[in-house]
Amino acid sequence: MSSAPLPGEAAHGLTSLQVLRTLHTSPRGLTEDDAAVRLGLHGPNTLPASRAPRWPVRLARAARDPFTGVLLALGLVSAAVASWGTAAVIVTLVAVSCVLRAHGEHRAERAMAHLRDMVATTVSVQRRPEPGRGPRVREVPAGDLVPGDVVRLGPGDLVPADVRLLRAHHLAVDQSALTGESAPVSKDARDVPDDDTSFARRDLCFQGSTVVAGSAAGVVVATAADTRFATAHLPSGPRPPSAFDRSVHGIAWALIRFMLLTPPLVLMANAALRGRGLETLPFAMAVAVGLTPEMLPVVVTTCLTRGAALLARSHEVIVRSPQALHNLGAMDVLCLDKTGTLTQDRPRVLGAVDSQGRTAPAALAWATVNAWWTLQLADLPAPDALDAALLDAGGLDEAMAHEPVAVVPFDSARRLSTAVVHAPDVLGRHILVVKGAVESVLQRCALAEAERERLLDDAARLAATGVRLLAVATGEREARHSPYGPADERDLTFRGFVTFHDALAPSAAEALARFADHKVDIKVLTGDHPATAARACRDLGLEPGEVVDAGSLDTLDDGQLTALAGRATVFARCGPEDKARVVAALREHGRTVGFLGDGVNDLPALRTADVGICPVSGVGMVRESADVVLADKNLTAIGDAITAGRLAGGNIASYLRITLSSNLGNVIAMLTAGVLLPFLPMLPAQVLVQNLCFDAAQLALAHDRPAPRLLARPTALRPAPFLRTITGFGLLGALADLATFVTLAATASAAHDEGAFHSGWFTENLLTQALVMVLLRTGTRPAPNPLRIAAAALAAVGIALPLTALGARLGLEPLPVSSYLLLAAVLTAYGAALRLLTRHGPRSDHLDAPSPSL
């Protein structure tokens, strides 16, 4: 018999027995056959986002690009005018680009699957081989859980589904991935449930949380998309445009508008001045294709997928989509949490002070006695984080020298624990060692009210410095055999405060320094106390500046929040929506924002950011929604990913700068020549072959390495200055082409022979494009071997093709030696001018952090 899942809302108000009956199960668990039937009915215990898309879906997503759409439109128009060669080449380029993108995403998904296998979660399930047989406990993959399964939980276990507790022993779970609260939450089994419907409900453990201490058994009430955090945090709607969309697509649409105007201009000019009709339409389409950087999708995909593959192999960083690598290179703000990122997930003892503020080693020693004997006598499977820090700080020999008597364990109502030991030097006396929350311990001490208030003020001042506190007190009693209880915790002697601070992540300081070198600002968005967050930042050398309590954000409108987000470094006591608002405000301020998160409470901010980053140990839904997945939660790996993104971004910028400058110059020259000459300046087939040769050579730019000064800052493309740059170099190229016209006109044959003119211009175009590839690149000097070989091959094709039979079929013919000498003079002057401009002008004014106007 199968049963539908029972999400928390549906199970609200039901007793444990009613839950078991509704799920058609029992405390002994399901049978294996029943579990198999339910798995087929409900599906695996995985979230929808983690299911890989099919290849047709991948290819369709890869085609969603403005240039890809325009190229397809040009291909259709070319086919309509019977320019089949142009149409076939365009469709081939689009297909190659889409396949490369889809293959890159598929490769990233395979790497993700490998990482998931490395951290695959299993769970102890109690099932019966068949009806009437006793239950057996065995480990099964978490994905095989079904509603009605009875699971067992222990320290360190990830809660694999929503579980209603049937029994629990000192159970505490970490729900920080769900709520952002770093303090463990006590859970216990209750026959009559709480009225609470939030994550604070005591009798439910939720998928995504982790068992910190204790043990429990419970029945699975919901799996996969029916779990509490899945229904609350499943992504809705598309993500906002990223830095890639704003930069590359911004340039694309500006060029598309100009390109769409080109064919009508060519047709009208030839009709008005030369009386030519629709016979010039193939030439007009060739000119439009000549302006279009038709290899842009292929070059962008090649650069980004190559960088992503190197990251996966060298640094175990999985970039799940090519665009995400560009966004990493453009990122100039990284938002992250404190706990587990800048600091480790465990505190350390800082020291102890007495009531006068003096160092108090005795207070620390008594706290260790309490931590050790509470752990031993209360039968706890593991100490909590603060007790573990006390035991790690030393003093165990002294603690074990005390003979234990009894323990009164910690509970959330008293907020303290008591260990009772024999007095070491006094017979017949017991010592109560009490440790816990400051207010709770001071209430039980024999203090005057004024003294108690003074100590509370001292504790508040210490907490304001960013430390956590425990108060320690002792009390001497007559030895007895009757049990001890909370009533004995009175008339105590205050011993002091023990202070703790968060242990810093080993690589955090180095990573923060590296981010500063990369011109990436850090914003800390944490649920912790403002003072705690500020102290961690200062310990790591990051000046916290103005620390903002997220509780004040509700009073700010979007404009005020945008201004605040631009100047503040630390936002404390942040909830999920607070983080998302801050990220959105930074983007509104014109920044390219990355967000590192691993919990469900990070999901809204992660989806709002330009690039979402998650460690593989993060919650499954967050990991599957992230753009970049880290094999380890190591900030240094993000620095490596930023460098790879800037390498790819710099090479994409080089390609755009080179191809658009050259294409723009050619188009201007073609339009001019088409009006002045009695024949077409170049045949459509010649334009197509020239473009194919140039585009194929530029694939070598994926192997270039941008100059170090470009890697030291974000590589976002700013459309306005970028278009100004290519316009300037394009006009210079047009002048070189016009000089070529004059040169060709100087020879009698070229003045009247179409073939000689076409050959001369074809050769000059490929030679100037080879020069542009070498001189306009933004990489280090000298150019790498693949780039030099590609440029040399391009120049060789330009010189040799008119001399071959294939050249004759294209309408090309050999030129006289004098023409080559004149072309050499033009090329020398063009190369000198290009070199002068690139040396003294701004080589990369279009590469920078995006401005607010974007």
Q: Active-site positions?
A: 337
DSSP per residue over 322-364, as a string? Answer: HHHHHHHHH--EEEE-SBTTTEEEEEEEEEEE-TTS-B-HHHH
Burial 522-548 (b: 16+ CB within 10 A, else e): bbbbbbbbbbbbbbbbebbebebeebb
Rounded Cα distance between 135 and 129, Å, is 7
Return the SS3 of 469: strand
The SS3 assignment for 129 reads: coil
E strand map for 644-702: none
Distance CA 709, CA 713 (A): 7
User: CB–CB of 528/578 below 8 Å?
Assistant: no
How would you class 841 by CB atoms within 10 Å of its CB: exposed for 0-12, middle for 13-18, buried for 19 or more? Answer: exposed
Distance CA 495, CA 483 (A): 24
Q: How many helices (H) and strands (E) does the chain have?
A: 32, 21
Whether cis (ω within 30° of 0) applies to the bond prior to 782 is yes
Q: Compute the distance between CA of residue 626 and CA of residue 600 in angstroms, rounded to an integer.
A: 12
Chain-centre distance for alpha carbon 648: 17
Name the residue type at position 265.
L
Of 571, 565, 583, 575, the closest CA to residue 600 belongs to: 575
Angstrom distance (rounded) from CA 685 to CA 543: 62
Give CA–CA dist 613/628, Å, rounded: 5
Helix (H) or strand (E) holding 165: strand 162-174
Per the DSSP assignment, residues forming a β-bridge with 547 are 570
What sections of 275-331 are H helices per DSSP? 281-291, 296-315, 322-330
Beta bridge partners of 593: 333
Q: Is 494 helix (H, G, I), strand (E, B) or coil?
A: strand
Question: Which residue in this structure is represented by tokens 């039980």?
Answer: 444
Q: Answer for the pair 71, 90: CB distance below 8 angstroms, yes or no.
A: yes
Pull the structure tokens for residue 96. 């190659």
For residues 704 and 651, the answer to whether their CB atoms sit within 8 Å is yes
Write the CA distances from 262 to 664, 680, 758, integer angstroms.
Answer: 11, 15, 21
Distance CA 696, CA 294 (A): 11
- 651: closest CA among 726, 711, 593, 727? 711
For tokens 């020069």, the residue is: 771
